Structure 1
């Protein structure tokens, strides 16, 4: 239950940072989730994303 609570807090922080336009806070929160943020025009999309 405690892990789920912590995940919900991280999720809330990520959503709040996204809608506030706070790029640094969003990246920091996503690092805690171990998720890389894809920036527009960055790397090539995978073959699955192309089709």
Structure 2
């Protein structure tokens, strides 16, 4: 299934602020991971989602 750009942005926005599932200290923030739009932990930098 392909998503349009609007759905991608909505997905990233929904995850913003959630607790990181990989560490105990961080929360998710929008950013970039390996050149792709992503939501990653502000503490451990692990991506929860990346889009390409």
Structure number having the greater strand percentage: 2
Judge same fold: TM > 0.5, yes or no: no
Question: Normalization by structure 2: what TM-score?
Answer: 0.35
Please state which structure has a larger fraction of its residues in helix: 1
